Amino acid sequence: MKSAENGTTASLPVETDLRDPSLYVNRELGWIDFNQRVLEEALDARAHPLLERIKFVSIFSSNLDEFFMIRVAGLDDQCTAGINERSVDGLVPVEILEKIRDRVLAQLRQRNACFFDDLCPALEKQGIAFVRTASLSRQQQELLQEYFRKEIFPVLTPLAFDTGHPFPFMSNLSLNLAIELEDLESGSFRFARVKVPGILPRLVRLDQIDGLDFDDDRIRLLWLEELIEHNLWQLFPKMRVLQCYPFRIIRDADIEIEEDEAGDLLESIEQGVRSRRYGKVVRLDITPDMPVSIRNLLVNNLEMFERNVYEIGGVLGMSALLELLGIDRSDLRDDPFVPNNPFDAKPAGDIFNALRSGDFLLHHPYDSFKPVVDLIWQAARDPDVLSIKQTLYRVGSNSPIVKALMFAVEQHKQVAVLVELKARFDEENNIIWARALEDVGAHVVYGLPGLKTHAKLTLIVRREQGRLCHYLHLGTGNYNTLTARIYTDYSYFTTNKVLADDVSELFNSLTGYSKHRKFSSLIVSPLNTRKWALEMIQREIEWQKHNGSSGIILKMNALVDEEIIRALYRASMAGVKIDLVIRGICCLRPGIPEISENIHVVSIIGRFLEHSRVFYFNNGGKGELFLGSADFMPRNLDKRVETIFPVFDPKLVESVRSDLELVLRDNRKSWVMNPDGSWSRKRNDRTATDSQRLFMRRSVRRKKNKKTKVN
């Protein structure tokens, strides 16, 4: 086969079966590979300062918890129900679970070796030490016992288990102590459970406890469960504590709502969030020293299978290491970064006036998210603004954007907000904001039945010189000021009438009974995103056939959809050069001779989470650029309200294409996918390119240039 580079095409081999399982990577195992790349950031001493490496250990651990709560829980259900349907790569659920278990156990051993053998000694050299109670002097231990009595003891609730006490309930993600006791009066043996309270910090700062003095300035940390274990005698008077074993459980946390039967979706979601505590156990973490008798007691009473038990040495629940980032040691953290704000130089901060002069495209977090917040606040205060319509998926707590919307209602503007209550693990925040918006009189809707609304849209209607003008913000990321500092995303500000009309029609569909199904420029899931993607890929195939001028660059969080992958395979076989920047799961295998040899797949794992979705098509040399909220996964194409929008300004198109090329040149934070589905670091020691660092430098340069012009 001839490649795209020489401008010729190749015919499709007659016998090629693009449904062959060997052409695909399993979705779940692809996610395990992604989390391995996260772990590698902690393992690489050159990659990040010490506390940032700790952060990646925490992220790896919390990622894994969520994976079990959702994905493994679903596979476990299939196994229990005897479902043996094969995935696109040919595996049945029980085989997938076995492979997940083997890989996860290996990763946990790797994580623990990294933390205990590498990071802990390195922290100690920097004056941050994890200590054991036994290493303290007798006087210090007595002072610690007093601290326990005052600060910890009142929060604990020991629960017995015997004929008179039912097996205690244990909530999702709870860390517990299984305790064997001997009754000193009767001589009988007892079993009890104590929950390590999540309301308290997992890491106790001994150097901050009054009266507990040390002869140096080191920061000393003690795991809360060890402090509890050494003071169990205070909880069980007249009992001898024989043994104590920590264990942790993870439950199925996926919420299933029958919307047709849910009269009030808000209340149904609230009930679903509460029910997460009671989902079936999908993983039991124990330490290797737990005896078989207690292990069996837990397995039987938690009604789980032996395959759900994971023996983990050391500390359980290491996502809690994120608490270490609260230590005031800037020398062990990334250098602070203040993003550029392109609107700073605009007169009087008038964003409306700036947008009338042309479209703006911001690249977060290198460009500040503040203009997005400022846009909503300016609209809320402006007497000429008549209405604001917005979708909210993940806004976080203490959201300035929601507060601006509430203020806009108080200023007698029409405010319509679609709050997606089913944003997984953000339901509670969204419920709070939905109620707050309803209380002030905003029009709040919860989306279309059966579909999550994942689109990121804002439409502002303003009266100007006797006519109505529309201002749009369209994004690839959420309206969340916290994640906007650490997620890479694009924000598109425009007054384009064609796009504004499309967004207006979409809001009417989301909030009312409009059945508008055709849009002039907006691509909308589940209506036409799949069709659009296949047509765009096919168009590049046609360009390649006629003159060899073709090319595709796609940047997403995940590439899973089988139909899209087959289309990309066909494009590669036709000679189209395809570059894929996939942060997470990629089920396509690149570099297979005669099939995907023209496809190159990379993944960037760095200081910031690569979150933007970008779609660039060469279009015979007249490049077309689209941005949006959708990955190429079945759920994004068929089961969500997603939007993908064109960028019309040629300068902005060229700017993003240049960004993509820089990302593709990255050889410091980049991983390359191999034909067998494995991943390798992309290294070139002679010419180092770190795309995120270069984007930050560009932002700093632009700030300096603005100051120079002002002076």
The set of catalytic residues is 454
Distances (CA, A) of 441 to 377, 406, 611: 17, 8, 33
Q: How far apart are CA 355 and CA 371, in angstroms?
A: 12
Q: How many CB atoms lie within 10 A of CB 218?
A: 15
Q: How far apart are CA 362 and CA 487, in angstroms?
A: 13
Q: How far apart are CA 401 and CA 419, in angstroms?
A: 13
Residue 675: which residues within 8 A CB-CB, separation 6 or more?
A: 589, 590, 591, 592, 596
**Pick from 673, 657, 669: nearest CA to 694:** 669
**Pick from 487, 461, 321: nearest CA to 394:** 487
C-alpha torsion angle, residues 589, 593, 598, 601 (rounded to 10): 30
Query: Do the Cβ atoms of 636 and 529 come closer than 8 Å?
Result: yes
C-alpha torsion angle, residues 270, 272, 275, 279 (rounded to 10): -160
Q: How far apart are CA 668 and CA 671, in angstroms?
A: 9
Residue 42: which residues within 8 A CB-CB, separation 6 or more?
A: 48, 53, 54, 56, 57, 60, 111, 114, 115, 119
Distances (CA, A) of 598 to 485, 553, 601: 35, 12, 10
Distances (CA, A) of 50 to 119, 219, 222, 318: 7, 15, 19, 16
Q: How far apart are CA 645 and CA 636, in angstroms?
A: 15
Q: How far apart are CA 386 and CA 560, in angstroms?
A: 42
Burial tier of 193 (Cβ tally within 10 Å: 0-12, 13-18, 19+): buried
Burial tier of 241 (Cβ tally within 10 Å: 0-12, 13-18, 19+): middle
Query: Do the Cβ atoms of 313 and 46 come closer than 8 Å?
Result: no
For 365, half-sphere exposure in the C-beta direction (CA atoms, 13 angstrom radius) is: 18
